[in-house]
Structure 1
Amino acid sequence: MRHGKKLAKLGRNKSERKQLFRSLVAALIRHERIETTLAKAKAIQPIAEKMITLGKKKNKDAKISAWSFLYQEKVVVPKLFNVLAARYATRPGGYTRIVRTPPRKEDNAKMAIIEFIDNKLPSLKPPENKQKPVPKKLLHADAIKSWFKKKKLIGKQVVYEESLDLPYPKPAPPPEYVKELIESDADTLVRMTAELKLHVKMAQKDNEALPKQIGEQDP
């Protein structure tokens, strides 16, 4: 009985699906790296593994099976039995890997690269994260407590940290990027902000005077 066997139909009937697999596996053996959809890459991965196993056998039956299945057999089959079989002669399995890539722009389909390991092609690099991190705003602990008590900030310090373009988790920022700014001196606040290139937003209510000292409550 046929239990537990899953088959990716890929929107094709049996003959069309077989032709697709033959073409993709032949292209993979020839180029050793191809990009396709994630579903197709997962579907042809076990077939490509079996082709390497056939190439390592090097008998007449294995060659007949490879010639009958693969397209471009005059180029692909000799490479399978001579180059790839010699490369993975001492490897018991796991000849391929799948690396996910950004989705396709046209239809947002999941894409992936399937390749033979230990190939001579340039190594795959992860896509660069072009999104810049958002600057973080940190409040003094006493300011947070006063906010929950009276729903407003009362003469507390606000600490601002400039966003560094470093890979996460990033280390603690250097001292020149972190500065305690007192809300009581607006001129000094603006000058220090310009020097340190920090993004500062003073938290205060309209028509409310700024406290003169840290910790001093509003009248």
Structure 2
Amino acid sequence: MRHNKKGRKLGTDWSHTKAMKRSLVTALFLNDRIKTVESRAKEIRPDVDKIITWAKRGDLHSRRLAIAYLNDKELVREIFEKVSQGLFQDRQGGYTRIMKLGNRKGDNAPMVIMELVTEPVAGKKAAAAPAKKKATPKKVAAKKSEQVAEDLGFEEDGTKEQLEAVDAAEEAKAETAEEFREAVEASSEAEAGKEAAEEAEAAAAKEAETVDAEKIEEEKADVKGE
């Protein structure tokens, strides 16, 4: 039973696993990118996040903890300086990225590339503008009456007579529009009747020409017979 033995089985004993993880983390901070097996990359991810968190704190105790883990004072100083200059300050986690490469030839082990995420965090999207509420029919009618009253030169808070005058103007506009529509329809009917009459005249003329041609042919035939 594996009581109190967290982590993945990497095929090595405890001391070898500890040294291997330390070397991988050191290589990652030195080169910003490493190529390794997927299980090892996932195993060192918490350690990388822990060291970056210590660097963001920046106090003496955090520096000593990082030195105790990496066992490299110059590398720890470099990491703390980069973080103090603004690296990872806008990130609250997710300092590493793992990209799969496929299986390795030979033992078929899944290979990945693990790298530090140094890109700045994208800002929050601008809040969408609130949708405009559609005006109710009553508000639309009231606004229309106010516009008509303004066009007729009435005051803003008009009397009952002024409002009646506005209604009368609206009715007059409606009657005018109805008369215009009827006139257009009548004109269209007249044009249609005129076209029908022209077509009838053309048909009659064509028929008369046909009759005249037949008579001429008959007269020619009679003359030849005589």
Higher CA-based Rg: 2
Which structure: greater strand fraction?
Answer: 1
Which structure: greater helix fraction?
Answer: 2
Per the normalisation by structure 1, the TM-score is: 0.50
